[in-house]
């Protein structure tokens, strides 16, 4: 598996910066860098907008920062989209939708242990984009099946572009919406979601995984055919550590876990120090080892990251940059402690 472990570092792609060069510099400070998504710089840099490029039926208003869907427009544009279905450039992110992505693609990243890309996942996209009746498009059967195939193509195209820069490139499918699957109000149950996501991942080239900051059903998530799972362990430490049997199966299948432990919110970051955060993370590891997971095996298949993204700090990007730096420091401390 080309995804590195051994407590190397990466981070979430959504960043508060309005300076693309500074954002890239910060992303490159991680062992496994990525191209940043900068919605404060431009609405085109929003993760949902980037996923929506060339999706039929989309109504994008950049000035008012709205993204909606029209079924009539979907029907009108579907034929043109299908005519481009074998054209990789149609599914890539254009320079208009992310100049940062294209700056990243111009870099020499061959010496990195890996690099990473990302795209908003179909479940979250489908929950977030509303049609003319203010109804999530995830509930529209015809649109949903098309959407899963469309997003799979987009992920594969990006992954192949990144693999041209570094053979160990991999992709995060960002799926914050998965935590809502298990709400009685969602209208889209976990049985249908499992069927759709199994089909979706069967269409995506490896390596691939999911990133989310919420708290879904971890048995469900760890049971998907993933190579890597990135989560907010800072918030979800207690509940995630109770899923030892599923975690063990995931690790035994070769899966890598990215432990998001350094908070990026201003108040939380100021409250906790590296020593306390290391102890919190190691407590999770201790609980899992008591439940039969070998610590050395687990750390070999582990990475570290900030806990979440954050766009609303009073100091803008400063706390986020401090969190990135703290992840690197924590990695060094734990790698030395565990002889990695």
Q: pLDDT tens digit string along 177-206?
A: 888 776 655 567 778 888 999 999 999 999
Q: CB-side exposure of 186: number of CA atoms within 13 Å?
A: 21
pTM value is 0.95
How high is the pLDDT of residue 188?
76
pLDDT of residue 324 exceeding 70: yes
What lies within 8 Å, CB to CB, of 120 at 6+ separation is 47, 48, 50, 51, 151, 173, 174
Residue 159 to residue 161: CA distance in whole angstroms:
5
Is 2:170 a contact under the CB 8 Å cutoff?
Answer: yes
55-97: per-residue pLDDT in tens? 999 999 999 999 999 999 999 999 999 999 999 999 999 999 9
How high is the pLDDT of residue 216?
87
**Residue 185 in tokens:** 């109000």
**Residue 300 in tokens:** 């070999």
pLDDT of residue 53 exceeding 80: yes
pLDDT of residue 29 exceeding 90: yes
The CATH number assigned to the domain with range 8-337 reads 3.20.20.210
Domain boundaries along the sequence of the chain: 8-337
pLDDT of residue 294 exceeding 60: yes
Backbone angles phi, psi at 333, to 5 degrees: -65, -50
How high is the pLDDT of residue 310?
94
130-186: per-residue pLDDT in tens? 999 999 999 998 899 999 999 999 999 999 999 999 999 999 999 988 887 766 555
% of the chain residues with pLDDT over 70: 98
Residue 330 to residue 275: CA distance in whole angstroms:
9
Mean pLDDT across 97-124: 97
């Amino acid at each position: 598996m080309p995804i590195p472990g051994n407590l190397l570092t990466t981070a979430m792609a959504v960043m508060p910066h309005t300076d693309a060069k500074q954002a890239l510099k910060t992303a490159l400070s991680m062992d496994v860098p990525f191209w940043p998504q900068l919605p404060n710089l431009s609405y085109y840099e929003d993760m949902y907008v980037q996923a929506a490029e060339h999706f039929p039926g989309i109504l994008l208003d950049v000035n008012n920062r709205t993204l909606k869907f029209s079924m009539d427009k979907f029907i009108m544009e579907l034929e043109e989209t299908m005519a481009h279905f074998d054209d990789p450039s149609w599914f890539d992110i254009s320079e208009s939708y992310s100049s940062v992505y294209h700056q990243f693609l111009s870099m020499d990243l061959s010496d990195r242990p890996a690099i990473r890309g990302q795209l908003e996942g179909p479940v979250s996209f489908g929950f977030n984009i509303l049609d003319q009746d203010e109804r999530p498009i995830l509930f529209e059967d015809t649109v949903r099946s098309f959407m899963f195939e469309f997003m799979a193509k987009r992920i594969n195209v990006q992954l192949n572009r990144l693999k041209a820069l570094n053979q160990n490139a991999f992709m995060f499918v960002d799926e914050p919406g998965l935590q809502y699957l298990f709400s009685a109000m969602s209208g889209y149950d976990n049985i249908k979601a499992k069927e759709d996501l199994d089909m979706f991942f069967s269409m995506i080239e490896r390596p691939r995984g999911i990133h989310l900051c919420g708290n879904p059903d971890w048995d469900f998530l760890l049971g998907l055919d993933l190579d890597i799972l990135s989560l907010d362990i800072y918030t979800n430490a207690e509940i995630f550590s109770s899923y030892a049997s599923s975690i063990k199966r995931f690790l035994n299948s070769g899966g890598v876990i990215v432990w998001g432990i350094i908070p990026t919110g201003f108040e939380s970051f100021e409250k906790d120090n590296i020593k306390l955060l290391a102890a919190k993370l190691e407590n999770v590891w201790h609980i899992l080892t008591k439940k039969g997971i070998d610590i050395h095996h687990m750390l070999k298949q582990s990475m570290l990251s900030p806990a979440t993204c954050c766009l609303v700090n009073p100091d803008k990007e400063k706390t986020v940059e401090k969190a990135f730096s703290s992840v690197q420091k924590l990695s060094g401390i734990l790698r030395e402690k565990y002889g990695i």
